């Protein structure tokens, strides 16, 4: 059958297997020469694509939950949306929430996902207590930071290349209400935006929508959303605007250029700063919604290009990157900037600094531009996100992931027959 990622870049012919028991999975692994596990497939990348793909979606039971401690144990095919639907009402939230709600727990570990609170909470591995992994020989190994740490750290962020994650035990975050207190602040340019990030560090989460097509003194202008979990007192405070939806400019998709859309969106917030209370999912999935409106009429493929720059070089790197994008003929949309704290891990994407995600419609000139941007990313000691990549070269990977050799050694130790491979792992030489 044809198997692809969210944006159909790429799409290949593959055998798609699934399983609901350990024995079924063991048989699939033993019979296949090479294969790769897959979560929801809501991805931009080719790290869950190969000619044999194992879907984990039928292995999806919640096994235990401790109401006192907030520790949950579940199978790897459980989706984040399912956990939120059940546990937010009980006062427990996921500690790390990415912008896409249907990702699975297995993927959250395999890509060591981050959220808009990375500078406070780190990525998913920071909250993972232990996980069970089925290796290429069919054995099941439980690993944690204390027990079998090499397997643990090679599996967190290891893109499914050590084995199939079966079960995970991790910590949820206690919250007083399912609401979010948000302040939304306009930033005139990149410098302003960096300042706002800097003095917003006490907030639980921060994210900026950034206008990648603004130039000159407006270069890098945007709107920062800084946020904390709302308390019961916040909900009683009538001076706070209670909103069901995030403010959206009323724009007919397809009738406007991306530049005009960005400008209208930026100016749709009239005040420099706004405060309001919103349901948690409105915040976590806002930019998804904002950009899907303008994206609704796009039939073409798109690529999300995500980079991280170290803190000291972040401003200069982003400024140069925006200048290059601006002088190209590309029409990027839906760009967000977030702030990262320090991160352990062999292939985890975050590094202390800044991360920009830009969506580009795919066209023949795009890859020349991305090639130029890759060179810039290396010059500024940054890296691309493996979890959103379908084109990184081996050279870029090896230069930007300093622990890549350690990872390869461990991958071959735990998967000596090299059963677990993806299109991405072959391309980048793992
Ligand atoms: C709109 C959008 C927004 C995003 N926002 C964020 C964000 O805020 N933060 C962030 O960190 N990421 C983000 N991502 C990236 C996202 O985490 C990845 O695209 C992710 O791959 C999607 O999850 P999935 O369940 O579809 O996993 P898949 O794409 O199916 O799998 C991803 C990787 O995990 C491996 N894997 C999956 N399940 C298992 C398992 N059980 N055992 C071993 N390996 C496994 C696969 O082999 C593959 O290497 C975003 C992606 C999109 C499309």
Three-state SS for 28-60 is HHHHCCCEEEECCCCCCCCCCCCCEEEECCCCC
| CA–CA separation, 53 and 278 (whole Å) | 39
* Lookup result for tokens 């690529």: 303
Q: What is the mean pLDDT of each run of 10 residues along the chain (430 residues)?
A: 56 88 97 94 78 96 98 98 96 94 94 97 98 98 98 98 98 96 94 94 95 92 94 82 49 61 76 83 68 47 90 97 94 90 97 94 91 98 94 96 98 97 96
Q: Give the residue whose CA is nearest to atom 39 of ligand 1.
A: 106
| CA–CA separation, 64 and 44 (whole Å) | 32
| CA–CA separation, 170 and 63 (whole Å) | 12
| CA–CA separation, 115 and 107 (whole Å) | 14
Query: Distance, CA 33 to ligand 1 centroid (Å)?
Result: 24
- Quote the DSSP letter at residue 217: G
- The domains of the chain are located at 179-392
Query: Distance, CA 277 to ligand 1 centroid (Å)?
Result: 29
- Quote the DSSP letter at residue 231: P
Nearest atom in ligand 1 to the alpha carbon of residue 77 is: 41
Query: Distance, CA 113 to ligand 1 centroid (Å)?
Result: 8
* CB of 196 closer than 6 angstroms to any ligand 1 atom: no
In degrees rounded to 5, what are phi and psi of residue 316? -65, -40
Nearest atom in ligand 1 to the alpha carbon of residue 164 is: 42
At 237 the pLDDT is: 79
If one looks up domain 179-392 in CATH, what number appears? 3.30.70.2520
| CA–CA separation, 414 and 136 (whole Å) | 8
| CA–CA separation, 43 and 39 (whole Å) | 9
At 270 the pLDDT is: 65
Nearest atom in ligand 1 to the alpha carbon of residue 7 is: 53
| Residue 414 CA neighbour count, 13 Å, CB half | 29
Which of 44, 110, 136, 333 for mutating ligand 1's site (highest number of atoms within 8 Å of CB)?
110
Helix (H) or strand (E) holding 27: helix 22-31
Judge if the upstream peptide bond of residue 10 is cis by omega within 30 degrees of 0: yes
At 290 the pLDDT is: 45
| CA–CA separation, 87 and 92 (whole Å) | 5
* CB of 123 closer than 6 angstroms to any ligand 1 atom: no
At 252 the pLDDT is: 41
Which of 24, 35, 38, 58 for mutating ligand 1's site (highest number of atoms within 8 Å of CB)?
38
At 259 the pLDDT is: 79
Q: Could you tell me which residues come within 8 angstroms of residue 6 by beta carbon, excluding any fewer than 6 positions away?
A: 41, 42, 43, 44
Contact 294, 252 (CB under 8 A): no
Which of 6, 16, 43 for mutating ligand 1's site (highest number of atoms within 8 Å of CB)?
43
| CA–CA separation, 183 and 161 (whole Å) | 40
Question: The tokens of 134 are what?
Answer: 């089925």
């Amino acid at each position: 059958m044809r198997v692809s990622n969210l944006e159909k870049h790429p799409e290949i012919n593959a055998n798609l297997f699934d399983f609901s028991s350990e024995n079924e999975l063991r048989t699939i692994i033993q019979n296949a020469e090479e294969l790769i596990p897959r979560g929801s497939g809501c991805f931009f990348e080719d790290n869950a694509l190969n000619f044999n793909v194992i879907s984990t979606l039928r292995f999806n039971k919640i096994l235990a939950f401790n109401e006192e401690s907030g520790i949950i144990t579940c199978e790897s095919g459980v989706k984040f949306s399912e956990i939120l639907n059940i546990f937010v009402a009980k006062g427990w939230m996921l500690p790390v929430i990415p912008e896409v709600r249907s990702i699975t727990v297995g993927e959250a570990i395999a890509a060591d996902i981050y959220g808009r609170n990375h500078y406070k909470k780190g990525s998913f591995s920071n909250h993972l207590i232990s996980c069970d992994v089925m290796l290429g020989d069919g054995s099941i190994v439980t690993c944690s930071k204390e027990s079998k740490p090499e397997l643990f750290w090679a599996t967190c962020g290891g893109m499914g290349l050590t084995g199939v994650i079966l079960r995970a035990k991790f910590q949820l975050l206690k919250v007083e209400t399912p609401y979010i207190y948000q302040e939304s602040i306009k930033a005139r340019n990149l410098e302003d935006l960096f300042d706002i990030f800097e003095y917003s560090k006490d907030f639980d989460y921060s994210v900026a929508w950034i206008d990648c097509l603004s130039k000159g003194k407006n270069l890098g202008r945007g709107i920062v959303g800084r946020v904390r979990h709302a308390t019961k007192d916040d909900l009683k405070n009538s001076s706070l605007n209670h909103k069901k939806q995030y403010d959206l400019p009323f724009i007919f998709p397809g009738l406007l250029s991306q530049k005009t859309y960005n400008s209208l969106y930026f100016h749709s917030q009239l005040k420099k700063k706004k405060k309001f209370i919103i349901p948690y999912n409105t915040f976590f999935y806002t930019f998804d919604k904002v950009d899907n409106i303008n994206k609704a009429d796009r039939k073409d493929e798109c690529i999300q290009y995500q980079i991280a720059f170290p803190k000291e070089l972040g401003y200069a790197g982003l400024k140069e990157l925006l200048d290059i994008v601006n002088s190209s003929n590309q029409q990027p949309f839906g760009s967000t900037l977030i702030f990262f704290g320090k991160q352990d891990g062999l292939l985890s994407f975050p590094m202390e600094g800044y991360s920009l995600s830009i969506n580009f419609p795919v066209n023949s000139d795009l890859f020349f531009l991305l090639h130029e941007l890759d060179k810039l990313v290396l010059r500024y000691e940054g890296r691309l996100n493996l979890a959103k990549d379908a084109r990184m070269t081996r050279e870029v990977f090896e230069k930007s992931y300093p622990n890549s050799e350690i990872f390869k050694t461990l991958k071959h130790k735990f998967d000596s027959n090299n059963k677990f491979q993806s299109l991405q792992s072959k391309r980048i030489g793992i």
